[in-house]
Amino acid sequence: MLSEHVKELYKQEEWEEVLERSQDHPVLILKHSTTCPTSARAYREFMAFVGSNASDPAQKMEYRIVKVIESCTLSRRIAEETEVHHESPQVLLLDCGQVIQHTSHGKITRKKLLQWAQNSFG
């Protein structure tokens, strides 16, 4: 179940809106496989980060998720447009329409995402 702070992306138009919104503030995207245990762990780490970070009024970050099986075309499109090789699970941090950080698999941790938030914008 997604938190109130995380919105799922389904369509190309929503991805384009995310790129636009990243001009004003960072957007963190999780590319998530609903059938993979590694992705389930990454999802828990992502949601733990969102839970702590979204409550900080100083943070202006937005959070999105793309389910890579259910939204395969969109997932591929994001990889093409960002020029970041698709992996799942994967997190992408966008700022000003560009990926400024990304990682995948076991490297997706709440701690790493907190470091990104502090180092990039703190």
pLDDT in tens, 83-116: 999 999 999 999 999 999 999 999 999 999 999 9
Structural domain contains residue 32 = yes
How many domains does the structure of the chain reveal?
1
The pTM of the full predicted model, rounded to 2 decimals, is 0.94
d(CA 122, CA 119): 6
Structural domain contains residue 62 = yes
Structural domain contains residue 107 = yes
Structural domain contains residue 14 = yes
The residue ranges of DSSP E strands in the chain, in sequence order, are: 6-8, 27-32, 62-67, 90-95, 98-104
CA distances in angstroms from 1 to 6, 19, 63, listed in the order given: 10, 24, 14
Structural domain contains residue 113 = yes
Structural domain contains residue 101 = yes
Copy the structure tokens of residue 40.
């389930």
CA distances in angstroms from 97 to 25, 70, 92, listed in the order given: 10, 24, 11
Structural domain contains residue 122 = no
By three-state DSSP, how is residue 34 classified?
coil
Domain CATH code at residue 17: 3.40.30.10
Q: How many CA atoms lie within 13 A of 17 on its CB side?
A: 11
Query: For 41-66, how does the pLDDT look when each residue is reduced to its tens digit (9 = 90+)?
Result: 999 999 999 998 888 777 789 999 99
**pLDDT band at residue 1 using 50, 70 and 90 as cut-offs:** low
Poorest-pLDDT segment among 45-49, 74-78, 115-119: 115-119
- Across the chain, mean pLDDT equals 93
pLDDT at 121 over 60: no
Structural domain contains residue 12 = yes
What pLDDT was estimated at residue 122?
45
pLDDT at 21 over 90: yes
Domain enclosing residue 64, as ranges: 6-117
Percent of the chain topping pLDDT 70: 96
pLDDT at 2 over 80: no
